[in-house]
Structure 1
Amino acid sequence: MAAVAARCGDCRADRAPARLDSPAAAHVPGEPCAGALGRGAGHRGDCEAAAAGGSAARLLPREHQRLRELHAFLASGQADALSMDAIARQAGVNASTLQRQFRSVYGTTVFEFLRECRLQRARQALERDGITVGQAALLAGYTSAANFATAYRRRFGLAPKLARVRVYHSPSGF
């Protein structure tokens, strides 16, 4: 594969050639590096790590923009009940292209990201509002409180009822 100079002026990746299929080669200045987006890493200095460990597809700026808009749409909760085909239509691409591009940029699948967003919303409601575990399960899209509790425990390392208990025993108290 031919090498090209990376386009990132904010980190050291602009001094080293990058492969055409690396995240640094597809990187747009001022945007977070493709390999770092899903891990919450900042921009500066992450181009090299993304280029070394990622295999992100080379995306055009309009494709990155489409994925950013879709990411916001998914995080808003509006897509929780949609199928992959419906989400892909919303994004203006077919389902396989969406899955491939989303994973290459964010490092996770669309549905893994949706599950994470739903679990985070349920966690906030448990901790902030003290809703029941059953209500949190429904909020997270689970019909079974037991399945929700298992997913919650795997993700956050504690049972959802313990997160709820923390609300009532916090120093600020209610």
Structure 2
Amino acid sequence: MFNRGLGDDAELRPLEPWQAAEFAAYTDRVRDALKPWIPWAYTVTDVTSARAFLQGYADRQAADTGRIFGLYVSGILQGGLVYRAFDAAQGVCEIGVWLAPEARGRGLVTRAGQVLIDWALDVRGMTRVEWLCDPRNEASIAAARRLGFTYEGTHRKAFHVDGEHRDVQVWAIVT
């Protein structure tokens, strides 16, 4: 286990299946803020589903195809980051983020996102780091810009959330 300090009493920590109750409680607390953008906000509804979701990422970490991290402020889970996709052989990964409304505006996603970008590029040798977001998610677009991602285009009707097919913007950092 590791914790990576981010300043401002914030830490980036791995999220693991044994933390399912904490993750389920967090999701319940911020569900309405996540639902417009995050598909798992609909499916993580209790400790059992939270454990299954986190176990999926534990399995992906073991296979070197993804990882999940919690973003903690003053010891309280306030958000998270994932390598939603991680393909070391191709040198391509995707980062995803989410944050509780009360923790926004403090640069936490920028600092934590930079940690994931730096590790992917500098330690793992990735040549492409992607950031995908709904074109209506202005906060996500602003974070992508702050982190140095370049907008590459929009995939129309690329994912399904809450009965609606949604567009997704593709942003990337390439080396």
TM-score of the superposition, structure 1-length normalised? 0.30
**Which of 1 and 2 has greater Rg?**
1
User: Quick check: which one's helix share is greater?
Assistant: 1
Higher relative contact order (CA 8 A, sep 6+): 2
TM-score of the superposition, structure 2-length normalised? 0.30
User: Quick check: which one's strand share is greater?
Assistant: 2
